[in-house]
Amino acid sequence: MTRFRYVIGDVQGCAEPLQALLAQCDFDPIQDQLWLAGDLINRGPGNAAVLRYLRSLGERATCVLGNHDFFFLAVVAGAVEQGADDTLQDLLDAPDCEELVDWLRHLPLFHVEDSFAMVHAGLLPQWSIAQAQSLAHEVEVALQSCDWQAFLRGLWGSKPKNWSDDLQGPDRLRIIVNTLCRLRFLRLDGSIDLKPKGRPEETPTHVPWYEAADARWRSHTILHGHWSALGFRETGQVIALDSGCVWGGALTAWRLEDGQVFQQACACAESSGKRD
């Protein structure tokens, strides 16, 4: 029987703060469960250590993929190249790189349990929880297929901007991934805008995805990361968990059973100041 479930925001390769936070939570891998809201790697110094630890937890860890995790897989697939701010070389050089890639490819993009749903970035207001699960599964099938490299080579881009149930092929899969792994803001006409990254109060011409009117996903409490400018924030049924560990902020854990918050200061600050 599970004692506690802890959900943690973007680790981004900060292995030491992760272990310090788990010690602060008194996390017990026998009795407790650990949920990770994506961006497990990149920008921090301990990517391989983070993945090895989470993989070692087996069914006691539930992780969803974030945009940085997808980026690493795309690097492996030859779809993109590392930039100056990326810190993925320890993974690419790791003797167990192939095994870690395979483990990442088999992670979900969306997790639902009881009245909670966990996603890295966000959801579109048109999507119910059940539809979001189904759409995430479409991407998971492609990512776990024998042709996963080709899928990733056709994934990159920011279009289409509007969801339609009639979308097919790469456009359909791309907007699903962009929503679940990159979304922050919607324009006032409901279209997706992936460029703004600041706080909502600094972007009055846009609507945070979680404030969209008549959203069909409001049957559940949504747990997400990705938006470090928000910091830890509880907004009604939405819990934002990216408190900017890799930017010199903190790594945050939220306990599902009682809402208790745990935070660990981080020293592995990324120096460029370029958040994504």
H and E: helices and strands count for the chain = 8, 13
Name the one residue in this structure whose structure tokens are 């803001």. Answer: 185
Indicate the pTM of the whole model.
0.96
Please check whether residue 29 lies inside any domain of the structure: yes
CATH at 158: 3.60.21.10
Confidence band (pLDDT; 50, 70, 90) for 269?
A: low
Q: How far apart are the first and last CA of the chain?
A: 38
Alpha carbon of 204 to those of 99, 117, 185, 201, 243: distances in Å? 45, 27, 10, 6, 22
Interatomic CA distance for residues 35 and 17, integer angstroms: 16
Please check whether residue 187 lies inside any domain of the structure: yes
Q: Check pLDDT > 70 for residue 95.
A: yes
Q: What pLDDT does 236 receive? A: 84
Please check whether residue 273 lies inside any domain of the structure: no
Contact by Cβ (8 Å): 120, 109: yes
* Residue 234, token pair as written in the block: 């509880």
Please check whether residue 234 lies inside any domain of the structure: yes
Enumerate residues 6+ apart whose C-beta is below 8 A from 79: 149, 152, 153, 155, 156
**How many beta carbons lie within 10 A of that of residue 204, not counting itself?**
8
Contact by Cβ (8 Å): 116, 223: yes
- The sheet carrying 206-208 orders its strands as 192-193, 185-187, 206-208
Residue-level length of the chain = 276
Q: What pLDDT does 194 receive? A: 97
* Residue 228, token pair as written in the block: 């470090």
On average, the pLDDT of the chain sits at 95
Please check whether residue 182 lies inside any domain of the structure: yes
Write the pLDDT tens digit of every residue in 122-157: 999 999 999 999 999 999 999 999 999 999 998 989
Residue 20: which domain range? Answer: 5-265
Q: What pLDDT does 276 receive? A: 67
Number of domains in the chain: 1
Please check whether residue 272 lies inside any domain of the structure: no
User: Sign of the C-alpha dihedral, residues 44, 47, 52, 55?
Assistant: positive
Interatomic CA distance for residues 152 and 70, integer angstroms: 8
Please check whether residue 14 lies inside any domain of the structure: yes
Name the nearest CA neighbour of 39 among 19, 56, 54, 21: 54
Rounded to an integer, the average pLDDT of 15-23 is 97
Interatomic CA distance for residues 193 and 111, integer angstroms: 24
Q: What pLDDT does 274 receive? A: 52
Q: Check pLDDT > 50 for residue 260.
A: yes
Write the pLDDT tens digit of every residue in 168-220: 999 999 999 999 999 999 999 999 999 999 999 999 999 999 999 999 999 99
Rounded to an integer, the average pLDDT of 10-14 is 97
Please check whether residue 275 lies inside any domain of the structure: no
Contact by Cβ (8 Å): 241, 223: yes
Q: How, if at all, do strands 261-265 and 61-63 pair?
A: unpaired
Query: Which three-class secondary structure state does DSSP give residue 187?
Result: strand
